[in-house]
Chains A and B, each alone.
Chain A
């Protein structure tokens, strides 16, 4: 099978694990008796569903950062926009069961004395429309933003800073009551999704399964794109943008494609996130959230497919542990992670293991070739010059060079 060989065993293993989780976890939660050792407690299902949403977000960021070299500090904005689109659908589903019992207007609008639905709230009573918006709004924003940014060749740190400014501007905007998105409190108090009660165990298990499948599809998509010819081009843009351009490729088109696809993935992650946590508020736009996503990808290993998924799961499990066990220590740990990972683990966990494994394999092969027992290695052992992070003749790196 072509695709199988293209993606490599690791991606298929990850996809298989996700699909297995999509089937087994809801079963273990719903049908196994509570005292069974294999029973998954009910609180775990939405918690891990949340982690998997984060994993999808981290994977989306990895597509632009790890493979195209665009460090976006605004991916939280796409995540939150997707979340808001889903939240608006869930708000409309409340109907007359709200506190004020208005059949059309959500509670906060009644509270603000609005007499009719703002134009941008129309259509959100239909799931297909909301689902379309989940994809369209973040995608369109990323397309427009990316079109202008990449066309005028805003790169590197400048791009990072303006993406951060973008999410900051959206944060301020969504905090305003008259924006029509619930202001400070955001959207919450959801009742049902597609007719299923949102609090029921079955819905939660279903959402978990949906998240697993979405993440599996995301993994397949990123895997497929990055292993294709387009993926080679993306890596070329990351490593030598000018050279790629001189060779006749349109670097900005490659970047724009990756950025838009990534934003759509982030939006879907946000849409799956909102029904599982039950609230979306402007805090999701906070620049800190977006930067946290970067650290998930960095811990796991950017430029790999398994890395960001693993990183998001590990860091968030750590966060859940620390915020309960020692809340004041969590920021020390997170801050320390940033420093340690950039200084000592620039490839992340998965990247470092890969690197070490490759080096070991190459050395074994060259040793066996010297003995004359095995085939010669296909590649020469990793040479110091090929390693981008270590400098020749031991000179320290310097600024502005």
Chain B
């Protein structure tokens, strides 16, 4: 807190500085950077530092970039004895000193004799703007592009000449386009003729993204000429429409992504609940076991063969399937087969199993979240138009569809699938044809559980791997299966995707939690209306 006299002093100083600063900037056009950079030395105010930064930038000498970078990174020091400015590198004591412009070694100094040139965030911004115009001349295209982008955001009318020069010298079309856009942004803020401004608006309108929208909105609000105002507003409107379209597309994408997660979690349930009619409340724990298998596999790989890490998920997939399928088999043989025909008891017993599995995992792996790594090919993101697509989400959608297709294939094209369908449709007849129905029951349940384990491998990539992982999915999964229609895999697909998209479209209006509540309430109402789901089974096999 500044006291009043102190504040008055600061004000007076500021006024003085403003006069000095404008004079100095005019003078410094031809100034020597080596002299200007010394102005950082001694105890100065933030305002003085900022003025010096601007002065340095105005010299247009690429060499000052070194000093400015050092300033931004807090490596610019001055010697207390003679106020000379140096770059100090290395963390040791004494510090190695470098010349601020040439970067040549300039001896050593104990850190006690040096003081850091203090900066704050607004100065950092000034520095990065200044660096933006300086690095336009850099030989590295990536740096030039970055500079052009920085300039676009903070373009000022004074930079038009610099930009013109850069555009003339630029060979690469991409960077050239960016520079021209930056120039257009600068033109809009200047007092150039109307025709030039209209051309600039057209150029910005064709860029059509959020940054361009910001510049155009500012132009339409701040410009005096009616024609420019109208043109800017129109271009801004057009960009808003494009952005709205992409936001829509992004929502659909998020929805599909959530839908694929729901599909993965629910598809195993579609087998055990949908085909067999068994309520398995421990289904979520099968997903959790899959996720923990992934964790265990990654830990082993990290310890034994780090080079295989990229393959960890591929190795974890079959293992997770086997682990969950085996646990499912044990549950079916040990508990569920005694409870067939008593769905409510099955529900309770499997809920007990889920508690035991949760506590078991908690005892073995601990109650905290475990870290499951993303292999390289699953991390990162790329842009499509104005929407960003992360690789792991994309892979999960692809993976969910593959699992779905594989399951359809197993049920429709293998003898096991044929027997499963036969047993579901007419148990006595199937038994009379020589099918071992208890064995088929066990295999069906193991298949559904194994699929849940596979889902756990995928979900470990986007969710916290903790003993409670499964609980979060169980209600959603049941909702998906019931919504899609029991006993119908395609219904599960459609149900998962439509619930996912509905959820994501409600979120902007209602918030994430309220959106979820609305979906739950809508689902409850839906079940009242169509108790057998979206795609109800028809015909003689529907249970009475």
Contact = CB atoms under 8 A, between A and B. Distances in A.
B359 A157 contact: no
Given A158-B531, A166-B524, A401-B427, A343 B475 contact: no
Contacts of B340: 396-401
Contacts of A243: none
Contact of B524 (A162, A287, A328, A399): A162
Interface in B162-180: none
A263 to B, nearest CB: 16
- Of B276, B279, B337, B349, most A-chain CB atoms within 10 Å: B349
A152 B277 contact: no
A397 B345 contact: no
B178 to A, nearest CB: 43
B339 interface: yes
A168 interface: yes
B342 to A, nearest CB: 8
- Of B335, B345, B441, most A-chain CB atoms within 10 Å: B345
B524 A165 contact: yes
A399 B423 CA distance: 9
Interface string A128-153: 00000000000000000000110111
B416 interface: no
Contacts of A339: 335, 349, 352-353, 356
Given A151-B528, A162-B523, A162-B527, 5 more contacts: A169-B516, A295-B352, A335-B352, A339-B356, A342-B346
A338 B336 CA distance: 13
A398 B427 contact: yes
Interface string B430-444: 000000011001000
Given A173-B517, A176-B513, A295-B348, A156 B343 contact: yes
B538 to A, nearest CB: 17
30 contacts: A156-B344, A157-B347, A158-B531, A160-B347, A161-B482, A169-B516, A169-B521, A172-B520, A173-B514, A173-B517, A176-B514, A291-B348, A328-B362, A331-B355, A332-B356, A334-B352, A335-B352, A335-B354, A335-B356, A336-B352, A336-B356, A338-B355, A341-B348, A342-B339, A342-B345, A342-B352, A343-B349, A397-B339, A399-B341, A401-B340
Contacts, number: 144
A165 B278 CA distance: 19
Interface of B: 276-279, 335, 337-349, 351-356, 358-360, 362-363, 424, 427, 437-438, 441, 471, 475, 478-479, 482, 513-514, 516-517, 520-521, 523-525, 527-529, 531, 543
A337 B355 CA distance: 10
Secondary structure type dominating chain A contacts? helix
Given A152-B531, A164-B475, A338-B349, A172 B341 contact: no
A152 B358 contact: no
A258 interface: no
Nearest to A163: B524
B455 to A, nearest CB: 20
A341 B531 CA distance: 30
Contacts of A398: 340-341, 427, 437-438, 441
Contact of A154 (B471, B527, B543): B527
B279 A157 contact: yes
A168 B524 CA distance: 12
Nearest to A398: B340
B528 A400 contact: no
Nearest to B279: A157
A298 interface: yes
Given A173-B517, A401-B427, A165 B352 contact: no
A206 interface: no
A71 interface: yes
Contacts of A156: 343-344
A102 to B, nearest CB: 27
B277 A400 contact: yes
B348 A338 contact: yes
Interface string A339-355: 10111001000000000
B426 to A, nearest CB: 10
A203 B371 CA distance: 50
Given A157-B344, A335-B354, A401-B341, A165 B427 contact: no
A291 B282 CA distance: 13
Secondary structure type dominating chain B contacts? helix
A149 B525 CA distance: 9
Interface string A377-401: 0000000000000000000111111
Given A154-B531, A162-B527, A343 B341 contact: no
Contacts of B352: 295, 334-339, 342
A339 B527 CA distance: 29
A79 interface: no
A158 B524 contact: no
B341 A152 contact: no
Contacts of A54: none
B424 A400 contact: yes
A117 B529 CA distance: 38
A158 B355 contact: no
A295 B344 CA distance: 12
A64 interface: no
A68 B38 CA distance: 90
A105 to B, nearest CB: 24
B344 A399 contact: no
Given A158-B527, A172-B516, A331 B348 contact: no
Contacts of B478: 161, 165
A124 interface: no
Nearest to B349: A342
A175 interface: yes
Given A160-B344, A173-B517, A400 B527 contact: no
A397 B527 contact: no
B475 A168 contact: yes
Given A173-B517, A287-B475, A342-B339, A152 B528 contact: yes
Contacts of B356: 331-332, 335-336, 339
A172 B517 contact: yes
A212 interface: no
A216 interface: no
A294 interface: yes
Nearest to B520: A169
B523 A165 contact: yes
Contact of A168 (B359, B520, B527): B520
A339 B356 CA distance: 10
B348 A294 contact: yes
Contacts of B278: 399
A55 B276 CA distance: 35
A288 to B, nearest CB: 8
Given A160-B344, A161-B482, A400-B424, A332 B359 contact: yes
A41 B531 CA distance: 53
Contacts of B277: 399-400
Contacts of B351: 291, 335, 338
A93 B525 CA distance: 38
Contacts of B531: 152-154, 158
A346 B345 contact: yes
Contacts of B359: 328, 331-332, 335
A149 B526 CA distance: 11
A396 B347 contact: no
- Of B338, B355, B513, B524, most A-chain CB atoms within 10 Å: B355
A295 to B, nearest CB: 7
Contacts of A336: 352, 356
Contacts of B346: 342
B355 A335 contact: yes
A329 B543 CA distance: 41
Given A165-B475, A343-B339, A399-B276, A328 B363 contact: yes
B334 to A, nearest CB: 9
Contacts of B523: 162, 165
A267 B365 CA distance: 39
Nearest to A162: B524
